[in-house]
Structure 1
Amino acid sequence: MKGFLIAVLIAASAATSVHAQTCRDTAAYEPARKIVADLGRIVAPNGVQESYKVALNGVEQWVNVRGQDRANPIILFVHGGPASPLTPTLWQFQRPLEEYFTMVTYDQRGAGRTFVANDEARVADTIHIPNFVDDVIAMAQDVRKRYGKRKLILMGHSWGTIISMQAALKRPDLFHAYIGVGQVINVRENERISFDYAMATAKAKGNAEAVREMEAIAPYPGDQPITRERIIAARKWAQYYGGLTAYRDESTYFYRAPLLSPEYTDAERCAVDGGNVFTLGRILPEFLKVDMSGVRDFPIPVLMFMGRHDYTTPSEPTDAWLKQVRAPYKQGVWFENASHMIPWEEPGKLLLSLVHYARPLAQDGASVTAK
């Protein structure tokens, strides 16, 4: 499973077709998957554990819903990537959250099980940011109706923050609050900060190979187009020096998570890489133009969960944006031992932060104090 831009770009550079690869047989992992599935079964009398397809905006989209009590507030968690679905990794971090929230995730158009469920040719021309934003809104409307909720908490991670933040701005009436995890504010600024961090770290550690590779594209991004090749060279070393997962030079635990997921078949596991390549090649030009720094007013409570060591979507621009934005309520939370993968790196603090800051906002009629 590839994800989070750099690995996707490397895959894209090697692939001639999204279906060119051969899907491996992972039957040897099935006994372990059965253990994961059994542990994850929702057995509480008022719980919910569902997986279903729903037609939204012309695309059949796969939804996963889990929670110990249907009376709990709902979090609609919008995954990153682009096209890096959360569903096959939920077993790694989500179960404690399900005691306090009903967690709803879905595979976006062009991603994971949704990629498999739809005709590739028909979806290809729809891979545009406004369509993803409309999908978030349509999903929220469907979930509200299906589970009898007036509003939801909207939470996005990485790429998912781009489309969920825009959805919150477009339809604030649907949501109690918006939470950005690894928030994207300005993509070009993110690229600059990430590159500068990698270069400074490589020089400090005497990594001549890294310095040589990065000097070949400097200044970055500069005034030149941000091409696939330049992104690969820039992101490679930032992530090597802990910019994806703090204190780690790789994130194998995440990329291999689908092997133990009871949610996916082998064909669907294989399709994660295919969906990555299919989506990124189409969305990259729009992605690189994203700039939310001009948003000065936010219509609903907004929380930002920021990894201190995040150099995939650096936290500095998010912190600066949060300090100047006007909102009914705003709160920043720093995760001191996390980088970009906050739900996996600091799951305990994520749970405490959601319960302390977000859950009170999800009570109908709850009052909030502007900050």
Structure 2
Amino acid sequence: MKSYFHTSMIFFTLLLVSGLFISLFICIAFVSPGKPEVLRDKNGEIIEGSISEKVFVSIGGVKQGMFIRSKNIENPVLLFLHGGPGFPNYFLFEKFNPGLEDYYTVCYWEQRGGGLSYTPEVTVESMTLEQLTSDAIEVTNYLRKRFGKDRVFIMAWSGGTTIALPAVAKNPELFYAYIAMGQITDQCKSERMAYDFMLSQYAESKDRRSVKALRKYNGLKSESDLISFYNSSTRDKLMHESGIGTMRSMRSVLKGVFLPVWTCRAYTLKEKCNIWKSKIFFLPRTNLKTETLMTDFTEAYPKIDVPIYFISGKYDLTVNIHLSNDYYHSICAPVKRFYTFETAAHGPLFEDPERFSEILEKDILYLEKSFGR
């Protein structure tokens, strides 16, 4: 009788704790103001001359959304291009607060078909790297006009580099510099290198389940196997578990990505739903990932007429650091630098924001002064 009572109490306690956790999560996820937090000083006062807003603009003929934030709107403008492709990551900026707004007026544009820019107006056929590049140039011109700047800085992460690179190559006169975190080069090679690394690591640790999951893709020998692997949840799961994914310490997609999206206060509930609706139902129907895989960006863009800054994590195999470094050495640019973050994987900005800030202050921001405001 006592044993039964004890077991019942444990079960009831677990049920209660689980219920409280679920209720707390629902409250956080569903009760969102739907706008970015204002920027405050050390005393909690709103900083004079700051800006923090969500904006919707017609870009490429469709309504597209962006967050614009700065502690001083007189600062140089930075256009940030997220990766994915098509999967915005503003939630990481809200979670980790790496402080780009200390130096720039930052535009976190959410590309057509994803996040704030998910709308039935966007067709599958319009989702091409060429169209996204055109959109990026149009957003750049919107920012130049709005903030009275001749040029802006452009920073791209991962899949965003496939858009930023051609944008800068086609219109160098619009940009002070190009900052690339996880520059994509030949993603076919990168995927095969990551696959071989994980297969070796999991075989060595005798993780039969993971080895079996990887071997379903037949060593990525065929193009169809490669595309299937690139689009798979297996790839994301095992990359994160092996420390070569978004961040070295982010070993779970559920905790590191899924939950932070739902708890991000800058989005309304509908916008959060749209992020996942786009990722699960819309983006897989586009050809963006295949186009990314099948393009050798090192051959397509051997020369860039603005200063370039490549930033990679030592453990980044999501976009292979060695391939990015090889491209850096071969590309022709008026100024170029390559930075390796020794403790990071795919997200150095979030993994070591202090060093990132130092690079911005000492190596990059002087360019804006040299051109003049």
Q: Normalised by the size of structure 1, how large is the TM-score?
A: 0.84
2:291 to 267, 271, 286: 286
Distance 1:32 1:231, change over 3 A: closer
In structure 1, distance between residues paired with 2:125 and 2:36? 36
Q: Retained in 2: the 8 A contact 1:49–1:65?
A: yes
Task: Give, in angstroms, the shift of residue 235 of structure 1.
Answer: 4.8
Percent identity between the two aligned chains: 23
Give the superposed CA RMSD. 2.5
| Residue 322 of structure 2 corresponds to residue 316 of structure 1 | yes
| Residue 344 of structure 2 corresponds to residue 342 of structure 1 | no
The one-letter code of the counterpart of 1:183 is Q
Q: Which residue of 1 aligns with 2:199?
A: 199
Task: Give, in angstroms, the shift of residue 342 of structure 1.
Answer: 2.1
Task: Give, in angstroms, the shift of residue 250 of structure 1.
Answer: 1.6
In structure 1, distance between residues paired with 2:72 and 2:97? 15
In structure 2, distance between residues paired with 1:201 and 1:112? 35
In structure 2, distance between residues paired with 1:32 and 1:224? 43
The one-letter code of the counterpart of 2:310 is M
State how 1:193-342 maps to structure 2 within 5 Å.
Answer: 193-222=193-222, 225-228=225-228, 231-232=231-232, 233-244=234-245, 245-251=247-253, 252-277=255-280, 278-282=282-286, 283-294=288-299, 295-342=301-348
Which ranges of structure 1 fall in alignment gaps of 5 or more residues? 1-23, 367-371
Which ranges of structure 2 fall in alignment gaps of 5 or more residues? 1-22
State how 1:120-199 maps to structure 2 within 5 Å.
Answer: 120=121, 122-199=122-199
In structure 1, distance between residues paired with 2:230 and 2:136? 31
In structure 1, distance between residues paired with 2:40 and 2:104? 16
Q: Which residue of 2 aligns with 1:29?
A: 28
1:353 to 342, 346, 359: 359
Task: Give, in angstroms, the shift of residue 39 of structure 1.
Answer: 6.6
Distance 1:229 1:98, change over 3 A: closer
Distance 1:31 1:226, change over 3 A: closer
Aligned length: 339
Deviations 1:154-180 (A, max 9, x none): 000111111011111111110000011
In structure 1, distance between residues paired with 2:221 and 2:152? 38
Q: Secondary structure at the match of 2:56?
A: strand
In structure 2, distance between residues paired with 1:38 and 1:226? 41
Deviations 1:102-145 (A, max 9, x none): 11111110011210xx325x533211110000011000000000
In structure 2, distance between residues paired with 1:201 and 1:254? 24
More helix by share: 2
Task: Give, in angstroms, the shift of residue 264 of structure 1.
Answer: 0.7
Task: Give, in angstroms, the shift of residue 216 of structure 1.
Answer: 3.4
In structure 2, distance between residues paired with 1:224 and 1:285? 10
The one-letter code of the counterpart of 2:27 is A
In structure 2, distance between residues paired with 1:236 and 1:152? 36
Q: Retained in 1: the 8 A contact 2:39–2:51?
A: no
Q: Secondary structure at the match of 1:363?
A: helix
Task: Give, in angstroms, the shift of residue 364 of structure 1.
Answer: 4.3
Q: Which residue of 2 aligns with 1:20?
A: none
In structure 2, distance between residues paired with 1:108 and 1:39? 23
Distance 1:317 1:66, change over 3 A: same
Q: Secondary structure at the match of 2:196?
A: helix
In structure 2, distance between residues paired with 1:96 and 1:300? 24
Q: Which residue of 1 aligns with 2:10?
A: none
State how 1:80-91 maps to structure 2 within 5 Å.
Answer: 80-91=83-94
In structure 2, distance between residues paired with 1:142 and 1:25? 40
Q: Retained in 2: the 8 A contact 1:82–1:280?
A: no
In structure 2, distance between residues paired with 1:210 and 1:279? 26
The one-letter code of the counterpart of 1:292 is F
Larger radius of gyration: 2
Task: Give, in angstroms, the shift of residue 240 of structure 1.
Answer: 1.9
Structure 1 consecutive aligned stretches of length 4 or more whose deviation exceeds 6 Å: none
In structure 2, distance between residues paired with 1:210 and 1:147? 50
Task: Give, in angstroms, the shift of residue 257 of structure 1.
Answer: 1.7
Task: Give, in angstroms, the shift of residue 225 of structure 1.
Answer: 4.9
Distance 1:246 1:240, change over 3 A: same
1:74 to 72, 77, 92: 77
In structure 2, distance between residues paired with 1:55 and 1:25? 37
Q: Retained in 1: the 8 A contact 2:115–2:274?
A: yes
In structure 1, distance between residues paired with 2:311 and 2:339? 5
In structure 1, distance between residues paired with 2:342 and 2:278? 32
Q: Secondary structure at the match of 2:134?
A: helix
